[in-house]
Amino acid sequence: MILNTIRECDCAGKKVLVRVDFNVPLKDGVVTDDTRIKAALPTVKYLLDKGATLIVMSHFGRPKGQKNPEFSMAPIAKKFSEELGKPVILASDVIGDEVGAQVKALKAGEVLLLENVRFYAGEEKNDPDFAKALASFGDIYVNDAFGTAHRAHASTEGVSHYLPSYAGFLIEKEVKFMGPLLENPEKPFVAIIGGSKVSSKISVLESLVKTCDTIVIGGGMAYTFLEVQGHKIGKSLVEEEYKDTARSFLAKAKEKGVSVILPVDHLCGAEFSDTTPAVTIDSVEIPDGMIGMDIGPKTVALVCAAVEKAKSVVWNGPMGVFEFDNFANGTLTVAKALAACSGTTVVGGGDSVAAINKFDLADKISHVSTGGGASLEFLEGKVLPGIKALEK
């Protein structure tokens, strides 16, 4: 996949329409995690250094096509300005005459942040008129919103039909790290997939089985697989309707000679709560009435040994209920193993990234993706419309 990148665009003296993903967590009107804002800064600063004037756009949350002050970009504009170290003007709206006038009034090198693009239904419908209205603000379009690249929306795909379009540094970096995992990973290649739902991860497992040497299945989704293997899982999470899918995945892995690591022991609780004491079950069989809430020490050792030998590792989804201190060990130890791995390590998915940040290990991972859904779809081998629009 070869992209047009901002290195190739002549943006001096031009108005550049930049799509970023500033869909960040807010609490009481304050940004609580600025990872996505920081991740967009290299592109924003580069364009400003080259003499561009910027019209920046993003969505925030899901206001469903309605103007709702709860979803205003105002608190994000404030944080963006602090991070950038220069004023950011917040537009009064997304499109329209008033915004048009604000764009026209911009002086060279100024930064205008449009209001939430999802205040208009045309955004998610990828309405050509809405896309044209956005495109009218710039001479060039730059997309750096990897986290939203799986959406074919007006600001992520539509505008590329009306302006010369380029990928920013973040999209370039995400593709640089994740592309080889899909096409030509350095071997041994280990994938660690966890989290709570088989339904949301089965497609990525089916894609990874084509390229991986080892696949670890942990977290709540592991129990559906253990149950189809005939093990006792107590009161652990199970997705009945995905048992056939789990069975056929295990058969496919066997046929391809891919080693699948499932939990061989567990940390269980009597109930799903953060005060439940962890009981180590030194067997794959979970007693009646118990809930599997983390992988046990023997499983942790198996996963760590696989990671230690790996040349490429991708991790998506925690190994246990890491939000509860009693059940965070599996996720923490696997995170540390990735941090110590000398191969290329890529972490994607909201909760695994949260775990990496909680344990302060982000700078020891080759690449921490800014996309949850987007990184999963990328690894599933799906075409991401926001990236396709930037291909040469």
Ligand X SMILES: O=C(OP(=O)(O)O)[C@H](O)COP(=O)(O)O
Residues that constitute the known binding site for (2R)-3-phosphoglycerate = 36, 118, 151
Give the nearest distance from C-beta 147 to ligand X in angstroms. 4
The tally of CA atoms less than 13 A away on the side-chain side of residue 125 is 10
**147 interface partner picked from ligand ADP, ligand X, none, CB below 5 to 8 A per type:** ligand X
Encoded one letter per residue, x for contact with ligand ADP by CB under 6 A and - for no contact, window 230-249 reads: -------x------------
- Looking at 39-47, 81-89, 204-212, 314-322, which segment touches ligand ADP (CB under 6 A)? 314-322
Q: Residue 373 interacts with ligand X (CB under 6 A)?
A: yes
For ligand ADP, the closer CB: 17 or 181: 181
Encoded one letter per residue, x for contact with ligand X by CB under 6 A and - for no contact, window 334-363 reads: ----------------x-------------
Q: Strand locations in the chain, DSSP E?
A: 15-19, 26-27, 30-31, 53-57, 89-90, 111-113, 140-143, 165-167, 189-193, 214-217, 259-261, 266-269, 279-281, 291-295, 312-316, 344-347, 367-368
Query: Residue 183 region, left (φ>0) first, then alpha (ψ -120 to 50), else beta?
Result: alpha
Give the nearest distance from C-beta 196 to ligand ADP in angstroms. 3
CA dist., res. 39 & res. 139, Å (int): 24
- Looking at 38-46, 153-161, 193-201, 358-366, which segment touches ligand ADP (CB under 6 A)? 193-201
Residue with tokens 């775990």: 355
Report which secondary-structure segment, H or E, holds 138: none
> Looking at 81, 136, 196, 357, which residue binds ligand ADP (CB under 6 A)?
196
| Residue 197 designated active-site | yes
CA dist., res. 97 & res. 266, Å (int): 61
**21 interface partner picked from ligand X, ligand ADP, none, CB below 5 to 8 A per type:** ligand X
For ligand ADP, the closer CB: 52 or 262: 262
CA dist., res. 253 & res. 151, Å (int): 30
Q: State the pairing for strand pair 30-31/26-27.
A: antiparallel
**269 interface partner picked from ligand X, ligand ADP, none, CB below 5 to 8 A per type:** none
Q: Which is nearest to 217 in space by CA: 249, 251, 260?
A: 260
Nearest-CB residue for ligand ADP = 195
CA dist., res. 10 & res. 140, Å (int): 9
For ligand ADP, the closer CB: 138 or 320: 320
Are 159 and 134 spatial neighbours (Cβ–Cβ below 8 Å)? Answer: yes
| Residue 219 designated active-site | no
Asked if the bond preceding 63 is cis, omega within 30° of 0, the reply is no
CA triple 34-347-166, angle to 5 deg? 65
Give the nearest distance from C-beta 48 to ligand ADP in angstroms. 35
The two counts, helices (H) then strands (E), for the chain are 14, 17
What residues are paired with 267 via a beta bridge? 280, 294
Give the nearest distance from C-beta 7 to ligand X in angstroms. 25
For ligand X, the closer CB: 22 or 137: 22
For ligand X, the closer CB: 56 or 233: 56
> Looking at 164, 350, 373, 381, which residue binds ligand ADP (CB under 6 A)?
350
Residue list, annotated binding site: 21-23, 36, 59-62, 118, 151, 201, 292, 323, 349-352
What residues are paired with 344 via a beta bridge? 312
Encoded one letter per residue, x for contact with ligand X by CB under 6 A and - for no contact, window 118-157 reads: -----------------------------xx--x------
Nearest-CB residue for ligand X = 372
| Residue 373 designated active-site | yes
For ligand X, the closer CB: 297 or 373: 373
